[in-house]
Amino acid sequence: MSLLYVKITEKPLALKICDTYFRNYCHGVRENHMSKILGLEGTAWNLSAAIVDENEVIAETTATYKPATGGIHPREAAQHHANNVSDVVMKTLEKGGRNVNAVAFSQGPGLGPCLRTVATAARALALTLDVPLIGVNHCIAHVEVGIWRTAARDPVTLYVSGANSQVLAYRKGRYRVFGETLDIGIGNALDKFGRFAGLAHPGGPKVEELAKKAARYIPLPYTVKGMDFSFSGLTTAAQESLKKNDLPDVCHSFQETAFAMLVEVTERAVAHTEKKEVLLAGGVGANTRLQEMLRIMCEDRGIRFYVPEKRFMGDNGAMIAYLGLLMYRAGYRTALSDSRVNPNYRPDDAEVVWR
């Protein structure tokens, strides 16, 4: 058994998890028939394991990587995940029980070193528990957890996080990307601007707070091309603007400009698809001004607007476990030979087998 792990993972980390697990928890007993999935998330800064069933989050444990200086260093973040994954998994199994039906993990998109570390742990755990492995698309997990935790059923989703900014909607067997960033994600744009202005990482929430103290709006580049948008020009212009203007005014103007771009594209996707719901997903979705602007647009069009609880917006293990559960029930399994991570895994590459 150990040899098999070594061959597949070539990582002592896997052995560590397996050994501890065998010693402490693995009794090989299935206690009930309700689907229960363990999900592992670790695409970037947040390492999180959760166990969910159809109704609730049974257990969730998180360890957050905080860079000493600057933004996320992929190798440092991966080292953080390697150091903590054993503990995070053990705590989750202790709280949530060991009788899970499958182990789900983020197969991509994300930072390569982080993805590989967490995938190694997921493979080892699935082999140890003798349950199937399910590789999930991280972006779709943000969408599905939002549908689970709100009354939304078939929304146009604005998914806004650090690395990603996309407008998605389900159509003919896939989540289609109706619009997306042509360069950096809105979260990374806010964080980059924040760092330039001397704010600690992540800058997004600090920019939101400062924006509330603004006295005026300063025009900044508004870039929507077709159904896509772009944030790097805006970020550079906002940084430049700090030479002549107060930080709260620039924060406010940055937000107003960037969010107006996002709302415009979301509205056009709604008009095109004729869907009656908008869902907000991803870490930047915690921003109350973005929520307000989307709510106004939805009220104007007479459609419903949904925002999940904040804990389900940023990266979390529950969303991976929940999408794993949907896929598990639909009969989807990931063979070890297909479990390689994909840092550029697009949501429209994944076939939606569960709807």
Residue range at the interface with ligand ATP (CB under 6 A); choices 41-49, 220-228, 262-270, 341-349: 41-49
Residue 308 interacting entry, from Fe ion, ligand ATP, none, C-beta within 5 to 8 Å by type: none
Written as one letter, the residue type at 243 is K
Taking the complex as a whole, the smallest distance from the CB of residue 22 to Fe ion amounts, in Å, to 32
Determine, following the binding rule CB under 6 A, whether residue 282 of this chain makes contact with ligand ATP.
Answer: yes
Residue 162 interacting entry, from Fe ion, ligand ATP, none, C-beta within 5 to 8 Å by type: ligand ATP
Phi, psi values for residue 271, rounded to 5°: -60, -40
The stretches of 223-275 forming alpha helices (DSSP H) are 232-241, 247-273
Among 67, 74, 97, 205, binds ligand ATP (CB under 6 A): 205
Write out the two tokens for 339: 């479990």
Among 146, 162, 308, 347, binds ligand ATP (CB under 6 A): 162
Residue range at the interface with ligand ATP (CB under 6 A); choices 89-97, 155-163, 263-271, 326-334: 155-163
Among positions 25-64, residues that touch Fe ion (CB under 5 A) are none
Taking the complex as a whole, the smallest distance from the CB of residue 205 to ligand ATP amounts, in Å, to 4
The number of residues that bind ligand ATP (CB under 6 A) is 26
Spatial CB neighbours of 296, under 8 Å, sequence gap ≥ 6: none
Residue 287 interacting entry, from ligand ATP, Fe ion, none, C-beta within 5 to 8 Å by type: ligand ATP
Determine, following the binding rule CB under 6 A, whether residue 149 of this chain makes contact with ligand ATP.
Answer: no
Closer Cβ to ligand ATP, 132 or 314, answer by number: 314
Closer Cβ to ligand ATP, 129 or 280, answer by number: 280
Burial of 33 (0-12, 13-18, 19+ CB in 10 A): exposed
Measured CA angle at 36 (ends 177, 21), to 5 deg = 110
Phi, psi values for residue 183, rounded to 5°: -135, -100
The one-character DSSP state at 330 is T
How many other β-carbons are positioned within 10 Å of the β-carbon of residue 52?
29
76 SS3 class: helix
The whole-angstrom separation of Cα 249 and Cα 6 is: 55
Among 18, 93, 122, 163, binds ligand ATP (CB under 6 A): 163
How many other β-carbons are positioned within 10 Å of the β-carbon of residue 117?
24
Determine, following the binding rule CB under 6 A, whether residue 284 of this chain makes contact with ligand ATP.
Answer: yes
Q: Partners of 59 in the beta sheet?
A: 51
Residues of this chain that bind ligand ATP (CB under 6 A): 43-45, 110, 138, 161-164, 185, 187-188, 190-191, 202-205, 208, 282-284, 286-287, 314-315
Chain positions contacting Fe ion, by CB under 5 A: 161, 315
